[in-house]
Amino acid sequence: MAVTARGVKKRHVVLTRKMLILFFASLSCVLVFALATLSTLHFNNTKPPIPVSRVFHGPPKIAFLFLVRLNLPLDFLWDAFFQNGDVSRFSIYVHSAPGFVLDESTTRSRFFYARQLTNSIQVSWGESSMIQAERLLLAAALEDPANQRFVLLSDSCVPLYNFSYVYNYVMVSPRSFVDSFLDAKEGRYNPKMSPKIPREKWRKGSQWITIVRKHAEVIVDDDVIFSVFKKYCKRRPPIDTRKGKLNLKLQKQHNCIPDEHYVQTLLAMHDLEGELERRALTYTLWNQTTTKMENKGWHPITFSYANAGPQRIKEMKGINHVYYETEYRIEWCRTNSTHVPCFLFARKFSQGAAMRLLSEEVVDHFDVSALLATTS
Ligand SMILES: *[C@@H]1O[C@H](CO)[C@@H](O)[C@H](O)[C@H]1NC(C)=O
Ligand SMILES: *[C@@H]1O[C@H](CO)[C@@H](O)[C@H](O)[C@H]1NC(C)=O
Ligand SMILES: *[C@@H]1O[C@H](CO)[C@@H](O)[C@H](O)[C@H]1NC(C)=O
């Protein structure tokens, strides 16, 4: 039942999204009905006509989706960012711990008041509940037809530019920004996922995605790949000395991180990679020194007041390509074919580092006009 209803919604969205972007100003009810008829004929289905309520008035919005543990420690910086934005061009959704309410006692920014999901779940970091939380955020944001782009952010993410720069950069792109690559050596693929997920469709990449509405629908509508992930993409348990030799067996299990594979693999399964800029918009600096004790790969470095100075920020903003070592691929950063700096956001920032960004007016006084100059 839900599948049928969503099938209609999806088709409608695909057709109207293009129209809304191209002929936004001239979109009329007549057009919508024409499209509805067209899609019905084309797909030869007998589903009910598309509800006109899916049409929105006003500018398209970016939905900022915050996936957080509890509160938003960097709300003061986002407040400055949103204050400089146009309220008709964005919306905010927060997935926090169940029961956590965002109000004047829990956040310094009115933009976040009551923006928490009421159906949030308990999230275990690195487990499939994390991707379920992402799906809940996307589902909530899809309720508003004006939301045309979806940006997933963590509680330690910061913007590197002002609102209008971010809005233009993301809106002009007909593609999603999804860091996605093959890693043959990685060994996180579990052969038991086959045939539902063939090995050649297995992808890896950053969890922090920016996607178009069509791809958000694909993620929310998916039950098949998600259930395979729930069953077979699990974290390796930590070594428990009481378990003795059993540890050897446990440690041989595939150590899988769902949030670094799910969206990438799902979009590959749907043959949508041609609709992606295969890179992230969120900068992360990896600490490549690992101790033998940890033995779990790189960790992102957390920026503090001391190492988030203007020179450091300038370097982040100056990056114009990304090299994917496992694929020998150089990704020159573009939006709608125009060369642009790669990163709009960065993580992980401490409150001190975010304070420094704010005092240096990164988010409210924009310093690079290259994008607007080349696209206008
Ligand atoms: C994308 O670029 C093309 C070609 O330069 C241009 O015609 C189009 O208007 C751009 N799209 C948007 C949404 O700005
Ligand atoms: C990098 O990781 C090592 C080992 O965990 C740690 O000792 C070091 O402080 C980290 N460096 C930074 C800059 O976070
Ligand atoms: C954002 O940056 C652009 C480009 O420099 C500038 O024209 C605009 O005034 C800035 N917007 C706001 C609201 O500060």
The string of pLDDT tens digits covering residues 170-209 is 999 999 999 999 987 777 888 899 999 999 999 999 999 9
What is the rounded end-to-end Cα distance, in angstroms, of the chain? 45
Q: What pLDDT score does 242 carry?
A: 77
The whole-number average pLDDT for the span 38-60 is 60
Closest ligand to C-alpha of residue 375 is 1
Q: Which residues, judged by CB distance below 6 Å to any ligand atom, belong to the binding site of ligand 1?
A: 21, 172, 336-337
Instruction: Write the CB contacts of 303 (distance below 8 Å, at least 6 apart in sequence).
Output: 285, 312, 346, 348, 349, 350, 353
Q: What pLDDT score does 370 carry?
A: 35
The residue among 361 and 210 whose pLDDT is bigger is: 210
The whole-number average pLDDT for the span 284-297 is 70
The whole-number average pLDDT for the span 16-37 is 44
Ligand 3 neighbour 364 (Cβ under 6 A): yes
Nearest-10 crossing angle of helices 213-221, 2-22: 170
Beta-bridge partners for 95:
67
Beta-carbon count within 10 A of 242 CB: 6
* Ligand 3 probe mutation, 165, 372, 374, most atoms within 8 A of CB: 165
Residue closest via CA to ligand 1's atom 13 equals: 172
pLDDT level of residue 250 (50, 70, 90 thresholds): low
Beta-carbon count within 10 A of 313 CB: 21
- Can you give the pTM of this predicted structure? 0.82
Q: Judge whether 363 and 84 are in contact, CB under 8 Å.
A: yes
The tokens describing 45, both together, are 């289905």
Distance 134 CA to ligand 3 centre (A): 31
Closest ligand to C-alpha of residue 212 is 1
